[in-house]
Amino acid sequence: MVAPSFFEKVAPVYEFLTRMFMLGTFESARDRMLNEDTSAFSVLDLCTGTGYIANKIEAKRIVGLDQSVQMMALNDRTKRPNKTLVRGNAYHLPFEDGEFERIYCSSASHEFKLFGKVLAECFRTLKPGGKVAVYDIYQPKNKFYSLIVNTIYRYPVEHNIMWVHTLEEWRKLLTEAGFEVEELEAVRGVFVFVRARKPA
């Protein structure tokens, strides 16, 4: 996992950089992740950062978890009475079993060497029938797109600290964690959109 100190340094420009490296999908990816009525739900924005999901979603209870103090400080500038920010580790979520109806993770899965462990924690903290949605870079089979991911993203952006998965590997990670895969789709050649459900 990337050290939290990295995000303390980039926090002031993080949203600008994220917009740039999401290649025009900044708004559309979020719209797709939030394309349902969650107004009665408790939701977790995992690796919330500056609040990409937490400051837009409509929900009964919104929890944002991150390890970076500076990221959460920027996130907290958007005050919402039903939003709580928690400093914590995604490998060991500080929440009860079955606490959330939805969990979102955007532009962060590649930061974790063992994202299967994160998915297992998502599974544990979701209610039966709850869903996890993920949007991030992935490992394309196409040589051109793979070159983009493993040069432009891997070195200038991630400093060679990142772990990406093919669509087949994503399916395996999700099913091994116990999820039923609902959506698993490549987007613009270098991103993956995932939606998976915990069986009721």
What was the pLDDT predicted at 1?
Answer: 62
Extract the tokens encoding 2: 């990337």
Mean pLDDT of 99-108: 98
Can you list the positions of beta strands (E) in 88-125?
Answer: 100-106
Q: Please name the amino acid found at residue 118.
A: V
Model-level pTM? 0.94
DSSP state at residue 150: I
CB 130 within 8 A of CB 104: no
- Tell me the DSSP string of 150-185: IIIIIIIITTT------HHHHHHHHHHHTPEEEEEE
Q: For the domain that residue 47 is a member of, what is the CATH number? A: 3.40.50.150
- Report the pLDDT averaged over residues 3-7: 73
Give the number of domains in the chain: 1
Cβ atoms within 10 Å, residue 23: 14
To the nearest 5 percent, what fractions of the chain are helix, strand and coil? 35, 25, 40
- Position 195 confidence tier, pLDDT thresholds 50, 70, 90: very high
- For 125-179, strand residue ranges (E) read 126-137
Residues 6+ apart with CB under 8 A from 190: 23, 137, 138, 140, 145, 148, 149, 153
> 119-147, pLDDT tens digit by residue?
999 999 999 999 999 999 999 999 999 99
Report residue 38 CA to chain centroid gap. 17
Structure tokens at 33: 């992740």
Residue 121's domain comprises 4-198
Tell me how far apart the alpha carbons of residues 143 and 197 are, in angstroms, rounded to a whole number. Answer: 31
What is the DSSP code (8-state) at residue 190?
Answer: T
